[in-house]
Structure 1
Amino acid sequence: MSDHELYPIGDAAHRSGLSVSAVRFYADAGIVEPTGVNRAGHRMYDVGAIARLELVRTLRELDTDLDEIRRLLDGGTTLHDLLTTHLEIVKRQERTLRARRAVLRTLIEQGGTTAQADLMHKLVSMTDEEREQTIDDFWNDVGAGLDLPEGFVDRLRTMRPVLPADPTAAQLEAWIELADLVRDPAFRDAVRTYLHDAYSTDEGRTVASAPFQDFMHETGTPLAEELLAAHRAGESPRSPRAQRAVTRFMEAATALSDTPLTPEVRDRMADGFQQVPDLMRQIAEEDAASDDPVYDDTHGRYLSLVALINGTEEDHGSFPYTWIAEAMRAAEPLHP
């Protein structure tokens, strides 16, 4: 193909992958005009014009608007910017299709009704921004007027659902339940009441304080993971690795209150860990008998649904409390 040769409309259509009628349409619309005409008055196209026709075909296959194509060819935008914009459009379309597939799959598996199908489609088809706003509205309402340590509610709101692009049926069901719950005024009131009751006491305010929360979610997390890694590796709680990890963890924990890590403090921490399973069972029994808002029905339900949606569920029942307690009791050296 010569750079200077002119080609009749049939050749231009063949080389660009368009029909002759489409080439005529783009010429009449002022998108890609012919380079010239021959003596018989037939439209002729050079290599550059054919290349532009190929670009138009590609962009139209991507559902690009004719006005956008015209702006591109007239120099009003760049190909990079145009393609970047359309990549985002394609991504949104892909997410929508994945959501629809998830809805259909779940409805088929569960034999859902028309009303359920409509609700599921509305909730799952939310944009990321709409989902974020739904959660923000929930925490804004729950946190309004709560007399809790500064920054505590903001830390709670960081635990947010992120629905995967291709959710499982369980994740889809969890998001639907969560979206319904966080919009329910009664659930919001129950969460607000639970947080007030749990964290407005002296002990609760200590747990909700910034130093304690920083330790739990920042400083203490890698130290605890180091300790759990030793347990998962089958180490003895008295092994050098476990002892190094548990000592660092206890030193960081006692530093919160400037308390020396004495044998007495060590033993109290070990006793505390040893008693956690019994305390958890006791709390569960008290919650079951209570008429007031409780963790599992309020903030706990919110967190469990978020964990299911995000795929971060943990089996707290298998947490090695006894192993950690034994490692603590064996920890050396300690302050006198």
Structure 2
Amino acid sequence: MDGNTHYSIGELARLTGLSVKTIRYYSDRGIVTPAGRTSAGYRRYGTDCVARLGLVRTLRELGLGLGTVRAVVDREVPLPEVAAAHAEALEVQIRVLRLRQALLAAVAERRLTPEETDLMHQLARLTDDERRRLVDDFLHAVFGGLALDGVARTMTPELSGEPDAAQTRAWAEWAALAQDPGFRADLRETVREVAAESPQNGLPRRNFTAAVRDLVAPALAAGLAPASREADPIVAAVTAEHTGPEELLPRLRRLNDARRERYVHLLAVINGWPAPESPAPALDWAAEAVRVRTA
């Protein structure tokens, strides 16, 4: 094959893997130029067009616009600069697609209403500053004036600069939950109890929910019925852990709020923590054990 070899548009299509229509389109726009025409007016292309169209195909498959492709193949702009700018633009598109995928998955799984979907979409698109203000507002509503900064830190979401789809989805759901006035009020009541049980240095005496889970775990493992006489020592130990102003049974039921468990789960996803153990089985068991003894 020499430099005088000319190809018909059909031959060029077979050599490059592009369609005749596409090559004609590129030719009409000056991306490739015919070396000449036959007596019948058919275009003929030189061997240089094979390599040029190969480069054009690669750049187009990478998503570059036709104007940019032409500038690159004509050596008007350096390819590394174009690649860097395009990679940055693709990163933005990837984040947008990740957000869309996360929200659609949440809508399907949580069976959200159109109004809830709209709210989650707005929350997921917040800027870093807007997210910080939302978190600060929530923490103030729940912990304000109670001198429990250490506890507040364990309840604070820290969304990374490059969240994955699961973290993005968890953040949007967390933000919606954190704005629920009823949830805020219930969590505030729980935090007040923690503060009431804390020494003067502001550190909690012991996490009551964790204490119940640990105390009841052996009973659950053994299949011990809450109403059985063998459960009496466990109920006594749970009662001893309860020092707050609220009655024990209402407290156990309130702590078993599904929203609270969901909050802790979402927090773990956002912060990249291990999945927490659900306290629900232990709280259910303890609540029933207390109920049958106070009925």
TM-score, length-scaled by structure 1: 0.48
1:26 counterpart = 2:31 = no
**What per-residue deviation string (whole Å, max 9, x for no partner) do you get for residues 35-62 of structure 1?**
6325646544444432332343344445
Tell me how far 1:177 sits from its aligned partner.
5.3
Counterpart of 2:53 in structure 1 is 53
1:312 counterpart = 2:271 = no
Counterpart of 2:263 in structure 1 is 302
Structure 2 unaligned spans of 5+ = 205-235, 283-295
Could you tell me how far apart the structure 1 residues matched to 2:179 and 2:42 are?
66
Could you tell me how far apart the structure 1 residues matched to 2:27 and 2:70 are?
11
Counterpart of 2:120 (choices 116, 120, 123) is 123
Q: CA RMSD in A?
A: 5.2
Tell me how far 1:314 sits from its aligned partner.
1.6
**What per-residue deviation string (whole Å, max 9, x for no partner) do you get for residues 211-269 of structure 1?**
xxxxxxxxxxxxxxxxxxxxxxxxxxxxxxxxxxxxxxxxxxxxxxxxxxxxxxxxxxx
Q: For 1:157, give the aligned amino acid.
A: T
Tell me how far 1:9 sits from its aligned partner.
2.5
Tell me how far 1:317 sits from its aligned partner.
8.5
Counterpart of 2:176 in structure 1 is 180
Q: For 1:106, give the aligned amino acid.
A: E
Tell me how far 1:141 sits from its aligned partner.
0.7
Tell me how far 1:139 sits from its aligned partner.
1.6
Could you tell me how far apart the structure 2 residues matched to 1:48 and 1:276 are?
86
Q: For 1:313, give the aligned amino acid.
A: P
1:206 counterpart = 2:202 = yes
For the structure 1 residues 189 and 70, does the alpha-carbon distance in structure 2 shift closer, same or farther, using more than 3 Å as the test?
farther
TM-score, length-scaled by structure 2: 0.53
Structure 1 unaligned spans of 5+ = 209-274, 320-336
Tell me how far 1:119 sits from its aligned partner.
3.8
Q: How does 1:208-247 map to 2 (within 5 A)?
A: none
Counterpart of 2:136 (choices 136, 140, 155) is 140
Kept after mapping to 2: 8 A contact 1:99/1:124: no
**What per-residue deviation string (whole Å, max 9, x for no partner) do you get for residues 60-113 of structure 1?**
445543334334433254264266347536744763674477357538xxxx5x
For the structure 1 residues 301 and 196, does the alpha-carbon distance in structure 2 shift closer, same or farther, using more than 3 Å as the test?
farther
Q: Percent identity?
A: 24
For the structure 1 residues 103 and 142, does the alpha-carbon distance in structure 2 shift closer, same or farther, using more than 3 Å as the test?
closer
Q: Structure 1 runs of 4+ off > 6 angstroms?
A: 131-134, 149-152, 161-164, 281-285, 308-311
Q: For 1:116, give the aligned amino acid.
A: T
Counterpart of 1:75 (choices 65, 69, 77) is 77
The count of residues paired between Structure 1 and Structure 2 equals 240
SS at match of 1:203: coil
